[in-house]
Chain A
Amino acid sequence: MGDWKTITVPVLSSDSKNILPYTSDRKISPTSMNSQVLRLPLPSSKNMHSFFSAFCTEENIEQRISYIDRELTTLGFPSIYAESKGKELNLISIINCINELLVLQHKNLRAQEEVEMQHLKLGSDMDHLQNCYAKLKEQLELSKREIVGLQERDRQLQSKNRNLHQSLKNEKDEVQKLQNIISSRATQYNHDMKRKEREYNKLKERLHQLVMNKKDKKIAMEVLNYVGRADGKRGAWRTDKTEARNEEEMYKVLLSDYEQRQNQLLLENAELKKVLQQMKKDIISLLPPQKQKPKERSEEGLVLSDQEEDIGELNKENMWELSCETVREQLTNSIRKQWRMLKNHVERLDNQVSRGHSGALNEKDVISREDHELETEKLELEIQQCKEMIKTQQQLLQQQLTCDDDTTLLLQDCYLLEERERLQEEWRLFREQKKNFEKERKSFTEAAIRLGLERKAFEEDRGTWLKQQFLSMTADCKSENVTTPSAFLRSKYLVQIIFLRSDPDIRSVKSASRQRKLPSVLSAPVSAELCQTPQYIAQNSVASEKPAADNMPNVWVESDDKEETE
C-alpha cells in the first residue's frame, strides 16, 4: 500500500457544478518506480479541496467507504469490498472502479466538449442566420420601396399616355372637322359659281344673239384670191360618207397606235421570256447534280420529273411560241421552284462550310475552310519565326566574322575577369571559414585539456567519496525501507553517472553544441526526487565543468540553484 494522496480533479465546466463534488480521484502515489506524475489544472482547487476533504474524514471513513460501495454497485460497478465480508477493501476492484470512473469521466468530458462545440456552432449559426434575416429584411424593404416608386412612375406614364391618346384623338377630330368644313365650303362655292356662270351664260347668249342679229357687214373676210389647199385637194362637202370616213380614219389611227404598242410589248415579252429561260437553265446548271441518287428521296424524284416536264413544256412552247396564260404561269412557277432549290442549296453549303464537316459526299478530300485557314496561319507564323531566326543567326555570324581580333580578345578578357573575380570571392570566403575552424579547433583542444584535468580531479574525488559512502551506508541501514532500494538505486545511479561522464568526454571534442545538453541530462536526474548524494555529485561535476563551458548559462543557473537548495 502506498501513501494516500488526494489529488483533486477540478470541474472543467460550469455545468458540472451540479454534479456532486465527490468525483474526487484518488491516486496512489507511486514510489520511486513511477517516474511520471500527472499534473492536472486546478482552477478552483482550494474550494474543492476543502469540500472533498469534507466528504471523508477520519471519523466517517467506514461510512463513506460503504456509501461509495453502494453507489458504485448501483452504477453497475463491482463492489469494492473483498469477497469475504468485512471491511477489507479490494484494492484491485477499487482500482478498476477508479479506472472505469476515469474512463467515464473522460467520456463525459468529451461529450461535454462536443456538446459545447455544437452549442457554439449553433450559436454562431444562429447569429449568422439572424444577420441574414436582418439583411433580407432590409432588402425586402428596399425592393418594396422600389416597387412603389416604379408603380408610381408607371402610373404617371400611363396617365401621360392616356393624355397623349386623348390629344391625338382631339387632333384627329379637329382635322376631320376642318375637312368637313372645307368640303362644305367647297360645295357652297361650287353652287355659287354655277349660279354666276349661268348668269354669265345668259349674258353671253344675249350678246351672241345681238352680234348675230346685227349682221354686220364688217364680219367678213377679204381675200385677194383663193389659196390652194396645202395638200392640193379640193374641198369636200360634209356628208355622211365623210363622217363615216372620218370615223374610219380615226379608228385606223387608234388601231395603228395600239398595234404598235402591242408589237412593242410582244417584243419585250419575248425578250423577258428568253431571259427567264436563260436564268432557269443557269439555275439548273448551278444546282448539284441530283440524277446520281434518284432513289434516295422521293421528293427529288418528283422534282426531277417536274424538271423534265417543264423543260419539255417550254421546249414545246418555243416551238409553237404560245403565250397563253397557263404556259406563262408554268414558266414563272418553275423558275420560282428552281430558285428556291438553289437558295436551299446555297444555304446548305453555307452551313456545311460553317460547321466544318462535309456531308455524305466527300469526307476526306474536303477540308473545312476554317481548319485550312488556321493551318495557313500557323504555317505563316512558323515561316516568319524561321526567317527571323535566320536573320539573327546571320547577324551573329557577321559579327563574329567581321569583328576585329582586339575586340575578341577584349571580350575574352572580360569573361576571364569575371571568373577571376568570382574565384577571388570564393577564396575569401574559404579563408574566413578556415580561420573560424582554426579558432574552434583551438577552443576544442583547450576544452579537451581541461576536461582531462577535471577528469583526473573527479576520479580522485570519486575514489574518496566511495570510501565515505561505504562507510556511511553500513552505519544507517535500518532507518528506512527505502534505503536498500535507494542504495541500489544510488549505485545504479553512480554507474549511470560514470557512463554519462564518459560520454561527455567523447562528445565535447566533436561538437560544441552538445555541451549544453549534457548538463541538462545530468541535471535532470538532479531533481527533487533524487537524494542528496547524487546532487552533490552533480554539483561537483557541474562545478568542474564550469570553466570549460563558456556558453552554458543554463548550467550556471541550475548549479547556483542547486547550491542554494543545498
Chain B
Amino acid sequence: ASCMQHRLLVRDARSLHILQLYTCLDQIQYIEWSSDSLFILCAMYKRGIVQVWSLEQPDWHCKIDEGSAGLVASCWSPDGRHILNTTEFHLRITVWSLCTKSVSYIKYPKACQQGVAFTKDGRYMAVAERRDCKDFISIFVCSNWQLLRHFDTETQDLFGIEWAPNGCVLAAWDTCLEYKVLLYSLDGRLLSSYRAYEWPLGVKSIAWSPSSQFLAIGSFDEKVRILNHVTWKKITELDHPATIASKKTIVYKEVEKSPTVETERLSFPPTRALASSLFSTQSKYDISQVPVSLQYIKPVADRANPKVGVGMLAFSADNCFLATKNDNIPNAVWIWDMRKLKLSVVLEQLCSIQCFQWDPCQPRLAVCTGSSRVYLWSPAGCMVVQVPGEGDFQIVSLSWHPSGNSMVLLSKDNFCVCYLEREEV
C-alpha cells in the first residue's frame, strides 16, 4: 500500500498491479496495515481524522474524528480491531473499537519516543505514563483493555519501553541524561536495573535479540553493552573505535569504479540510457587490509542530541549477528558475530548510512545510504545493487517483505520493489 497526497493505492506485492484505490479527506500522513492485513488505516493529523479501509469490502468505510482533541499518532492494536489514537499534547490515548464502537481512554500517557509497546503475541500492552512528575508503566490486557498492572519506575524521565520477544520482560530506559535501564517482569516486578556510568550521556538505542537472550544497549559513549537474560548483567562491551586493527575483521569498502563506455557506441545526441549510465557512478566492494581507519566525525559540542554514539541497533533474525551504526562514524555498518561476541565485518560506504534492516528470514542485511544503490551483506559476501532507471533514485529507507524475497526501497517521491531471486542450482 502506498499513499500519495490524499489517495491510497493498494498494489499487489508481486506484480505491483493496482488493486484498489481509495480517496481520503485530507493529505495522509500515516498509513498502517492491520495485523490480519484486512484493513488499512490512514491518519490525517492535521484534520484529526483517521480513516479505515477494508480490502475485502471496498465499500466499507470507517472514519474516526478526534475533533478538537487533535491527533498526534495513531496505530492499530495487535488484534487488528482497535485503533489507538494519541491526542495532541499527549493528553490521552483513545482506544476506538471497531467491533463494539466503544471508546476507552488512557490518561496521562507519556510523551516519549516509544511510549506504547505491544508484546509480540499481542496479548499485553505497556503504556508509559507520567503523573505528578513521576513515571509509571501500565500494563493492559489487549483482549479487554483491562488494566493489569500499574507501577512506577525509578527513572528520571522515561524515554522508552520495549517488550522482550518472549513477552515476559519489559525493558524501560531513561533519557539520555541518565544511563539507566530497568527490566520489569510481566507482573510488574523490577527484575533488575543496569547502569553503566553516571554522568556522560546515556542510552541512545536498545534492541532485544529475537530469542530474548540478549539485550543490546547502545549508548552515547560509542559502545554497545550486551546484557544476558539470566543474570541481567553485562556480558560484554562492544566498542566502535575509528581504527580497526584486528586481523579477523573483514572490512568491505565501497569504491567507485569508473564506468566503461565503448567509444564506438557513442552517438549524438546521446540516448538517455547512455547519459544516465555515464553520469551514474558504479561502485563495488573492495576488501581493505587491516588496519583500516574509518572516517571519524567529531560532533559540535554545544548542540543537543549530538551525532555521537551508537544510534542504530538491529539483531539478525537467527540471533547470530548484530548490526550497529556508530553516529561518529556515519559511513560504516558494524556487524558483530553474536556467537563469538566479536566484530566480524565492517561495511564502509561512500555516503552516510540512512537505514539498514535485516531480512526477516535469513541473516541478510540490506543497507541504504541515500545513493541509488542498495547494499546487501550476508555471511557469504556482500554486493552492490544498482537501482536501474533514469536519473537519481536516492534511497532513503527500505523495508523487507515478511517472506524475505523482496524489499521496498523508498526515496522521497518514489518507491521501487527489489525482488531477490534464488539461484537455480
Contacts and interface: CB of A to CB of B under 8 A. Distances in A.
A and B bind = yes
Interface of A: 179, 182, 186, 190, 193-194, 197-198, 201, 204, 207-208, 211, 214, 216, 218-231, 235-236, 238, 242-243, 246-247, 249-251, 253-254, 257
A230 B78 CA distance: 10
A229 B99 contact: yes
B168 A257 contact: yes
A500 B389 CA distance: 147
A221 B64 contact: yes
Contacts of A250: 124, 141, 148-149, 186-187
Contacts of A226: 98-101
Nearest to A197: B133
Given A204-B89, A246-B148, A250-B148, A221 B133 contact: no
A222 B63 contact: yes
Interface string B75-106: 00001110000010101100011111111000
Given A190-B156, A207-B91, A225-B60, A253 B186 contact: yes
Interface residues of B, number: 48
Q: Secondary structure at chain A's binding surface: helix, strand, loop or mixed?
A: helix
B168 A230 contact: no
A201 B108 CA distance: 9
B166 interface: yes
B89 A224 contact: no
25 contacts: A190-B156, A198-B133, A201-B132, A208-B91, A208-B92, A211-B68, A214-B67, A216-B68, A218-B65, A219-B67, A219-B68, A221-B96, A222-B65, A223-B62, A223-B98, A224-B62, A226-B101, A227-B81, A229-B79, A235-B102, A236-B144, A242-B146, A246-B148, A247-B148, A254-B168
A254 B62 CA distance: 37
B152 interface: no
Given A220-B64, A238-B144, 11 more contacts: A207-B89, A211-B91, A219-B68, A221-B65, A221-B103, A222-B63, A222-B64, A229-B81, A243-B146, A253-B186, A254-B186
Given A194-B133, A246-B148, A211 B99 contact: no
A242 to B, nearest CB: 6
B337 to A, nearest CB: 22
B80 A230 contact: yes
Contact of A218 (B59, B68, B132): B68
Given A224-B60, A257-B166, A230 B65 contact: no
Contact of B65 (A182, A204, A219, A251): A219
B66 A219 contact: yes
B268 interface: no
A242 B144 contact: yes
A246 B168 contact: no
Contacts of A254: 168, 185-187
Interface string B176-187: 010000000111
A182 B199 CA distance: 8
Contacts of A182: 199
Contacts of A207: 89, 91
B174 to A, nearest CB: 12
B144 A253 contact: no
B123 interface: yes
Nearest to B88: A207
Nearest to A265: B230
B335 to A, nearest CB: 27
A230 B36 contact: yes
Nearest to A214: B68
Interface string B46-82: 0000000000000111111111110000000001110
Contacts of B35: 230
Interface of B: 35-36, 39, 59-69, 79-81, 87, 89, 91-92, 96-103, 123-124, 132-133, 141, 144, 146, 148-149, 156-157, 166-168, 177, 185-187, 199
Contacts of B68: 211, 214, 216, 218-219
A203 B165 CA distance: 38
Contact of A246 (B80, B133, B146): B146
What 5 pairs between A and B have smallest CB-CB spacing? A218-B67, A219-B67, A216-B67, A257-B168, A227-B98
B146 A253 contact: no
Nearest to A196: B133
Contacts of B141: 246, 249-250
A493 to B, nearest CB: 118
B253 to A, nearest CB: 41
Contacts of A201: 132
A216 B124 CA distance: 31
A289 B63 CA distance: 87
A247 B123 CA distance: 12
Nearest to B185: A254
Contacts of A228: 99
A222 B62 contact: yes
B99 A235 contact: yes
B178 to A, nearest CB: 9
A197 B157 CA distance: 11
A226 B81 CA distance: 10
A220 B124 CA distance: 26
Given A230-B81, A231-B79, A249-B141, A179 B62 contact: no
Contacts of B101: 221, 223, 226
B167 to A, nearest CB: 7
Contacts of B199: 179, 182
A127 B96 CA distance: 121
A287 to B, nearest CB: 35
Contacts of A186: 177
Nearest to A186: B177
A246 B145 CA distance: 10
A369 to B, nearest CB: 37
Nearest to B141: A246
A208 B87 CA distance: 10
